[in-house]
Amino acid sequence: MAIDPICKKTVDEKTAKFTGYYKGKKYYFCTTDCKKKFDADPAKCV
Ligand SMILES: [Zn+2]
């Protein structure tokens, strides 16, 4: 399981629909809202 960096929920990598990359590392999100927050300012989120 991965941790959503925005809300700290666990996300299953196999079923995750919302993913993003930052500095070569992959992140998983529970919802599109979390992904949007991450994309807006990834440096603050990780
Ligand atoms: Zn989330």
Q: Which of 10, 13, 5, 11 is nearest to 41 (CA)?
A: 5
Q: What is the pLDDT of residue 24?
A: 96
Distance from the alpha carbon of residue 22 to the mean position of ligand 1, in angstroms: 16
Per the CB < 8 A criterion, the answer to whether 16 and 35 are in contact is no
Q: How far is the CA of 1 from the centre of ligand 1 (A)?
A: 13
Q: Which domain holds residue 25?
A: 2-45
User: How many whole angstroms from 28 Cα to the centroid of ligand 1?
Assistant: 8
Q: Please list, residue by residue across 15-25, b when 16 or more beta carbons sit within 10 angstroms of its beta carbon and e when fewer do.
A: ebebebeeeee
Q: In the chain, what's the furthest Cα-to-Cα distance?
A: 26
The tens digit of pLDDT for each residue in 1-46 reads: 999 999 999 999 999 999 999 999 999 999 999 999 999 999 998 8
The first and second tokens of residue 34, run together, are 């979390």
Amino acid 34: pLDDT: 97
User: What's the rounded Cα separation, in Å, for the pair 12 and 42?
Assistant: 20
Q: How far is the CA of 43 from the centre of ligand 1 (A)?
A: 16
Task: Give how many domains the chain has, as a whole number.
Answer: 1
Whole-number pLDDT of residue 10: 98
Å from CA of 42 to ligand 1 middle = 14
